[in-house]
Amino acid sequence: MSLWSYVKQKKHEILTSAAVAAVGFFLALLANSYVDEWKERRVFASTLNAIKGEATSNETVRHESFLPLYKDGLVLRDFSTTIASQALANPAFVKHASTVHLQALSEYVRELSLANAYRLRISANVTGDFGNVTDFDRLLGCAGKIVGMGSV
């Protein structure tokens, strides 16, 4: 029996096997993409919770260390933006974050980085002129926005 005649005899079995394999393959792809999406959402939620924890810590620094002392030229503690900066660099986080979240985080990192630069400037005591420092309370209020973002 030649190969061609064998294929003609078993064509229904071969086509059924190929169809079952194709359906199985596509179901596996679908399940895999669902699992990946679920993992990305979990990464987003846990990262957002970590950012809120960092922002809560920064609020404490703001109220207990920064605001009472910066006008006198003394800043004891700096603000942490590590988690928020890493989140903005994480494609899974950025994919699931809203535009409002991303803008708030960008503002948060920018303003706290400026406050840390101010702290370094004071620490270095390069000059007696500390610049305009009267608006830090409003600018650093962005940490409160991050804390109040809510969970997903």
Q: How confident is the model at residue 88 (pLDDT cuts 50, 70, 90)?
A: very high
- Note whether 111 and 140 are within 8 A (CB): yes
- Note whether 69 and 130 are within 8 A (CB): no
- Note whether 51 and 80 are within 8 A (CB): no
- Note whether 144 and 63 are within 8 A (CB): no
Q: How confident is the model at residue 54 (pLDDT cuts 50, 70, 90)?
A: very high
- List the one residue out of 136, 149, 148, 146 whose CA is nearest residue 63: 136
Is the confidence at residue 5, as pLDDT, over 70? yes
Helix then strand then coil, in percent of the chain rounded to 5, is 80, 0, 20
Is the confidence at residue 145, as pLDDT, over 60? no
Does the predicted model carry a pTM greater than 0.85? no
Domain positions in the chain:
41-147
Structure tokens at 6: 């064998």
Please state the φ and ψ torsions of residue 20, each to the nearest 5 degrees. -65, -40
